[in-house]
Amino acid sequence: IYTLSLHDALPIFDSNTDDETEIRRCFKLAKSLNDQINEQIVNRQIVNLSMGMSDDYQLAIECGSTMVRIGSSIFGERTPNP
């Protein structure tokens, strides 16, 4: 018998918008779905909800993110490969 353990959730959103209202809506939806999943799982929960990057991490934290990806803020923007 095999079991599946979910530890982290990493929702992926359309990154073609700078509309804070739309980004907030997506973050809140992801948090709500994460909470619904956790209510259904007995004795195991998704521990990390990873959403938000360098440009929107503060908004993501406000909406319930427990892990953010801020590499560009630390290391700078990536240069595209030719």
Strand, helix or coil for residue 68: strand
Q: What is the pLDDT of residues 9-56, one digit of tens each?
A: 999 887 788 899 999 999 999 999 999 988 888 777 788 999 999 999
Q: What is the pLDDT of residues 21-31, one digit of tens each?
A: 999 999 999 99
Q: What pLDDT is stored for residue 81 in this prediction? A: 82
The yes-or-no verdict on residue 65 having pLDDT over 80 is yes
Strand, helix or coil for residue 51: strand
Give the residue, 82 or 38, on which the prediction is more confident: 38
Cβ-based neighbours of 20, under 8 Å, separated by 6 or more: 56, 59
Q: Flag whether the pTM goes above 0.75.
A: yes
